Amino acid sequence: MIGKILLAGLLGVGAAGPARADPLCDGARPTLSAQLLFGLSRPDGGRVSGAAFDRFLAEWITPRFPDGLTVFAGRGQWRGPDGRIVREAARIVLIVTEPTPEAVAALREIREAYRRRFVQGAVGLVLQRSCALF
């Protein structure tokens, strides 16, 4: 339920009609900034290789967001079910796109596809309203 409320707030009035000038953006275009957080450790002790991640990027992310994105290498950590802190290498994909329901649906599809393909317990998705000039 909270996710639906947040999504409605993110998409707001702009999805219902022509884009309005946003005083916060000061001439920049209102956008949706999405961060996908991908862990590279697998439950069997293996690792998602750079080549495997690049294939996933080419097959799942780039076709859905061909206008551009940025990939960062990172180190993440999270608390496991046993209460211990787990650390792992990660990839963060930053996408700045139009704030539409279709974009959010595509991001959720990507998240679920990675979770299934690489047997991940979770894949992070952070959505923020933003302003962009390109």
Q: What is the pTM of this model?
A: 0.81
Phi, psi of 80 (to 5 degrees): -75, 170
Q: Residue 61: which domain range?
A: 2-10+29-132
The residues facing 74 across adjacent strands are 90
Cα separation, 47 vs 28, in Å, equals 40
Average pLDDT across the chain, whole number: 87
| Domain membership flag for residue 65 | yes
Mean pLDDT of 57-62: 98
Total domains in the chain come to: 1
Tell whether 94 is covered by a domain: yes
- On whether residue 42 sits in a domain, the answer given is yes
Band of residue 27 on the pLDDT scale cut at 50, 70, 90: confident
CA–CA dist 120, 88 (Å, integer): 12
What pLDDT was estimated at residue 24?
A: 75
**34, 10 in Cβ contact below 8 A?**
no
* β partners of residue 25: none
Per the domain annotation, does 76 fall within a domain? yes
We report the CATH number of the domain holding residue 66 as 3.30.70.120
Whether 72 maps to a domain, the answer reads: yes
Q: Is residue 19 part of a domain?
A: no
Q: Give a yes or no: residue 79 inside a domain.
A: yes
Residue 93, domain member (yes or no): yes
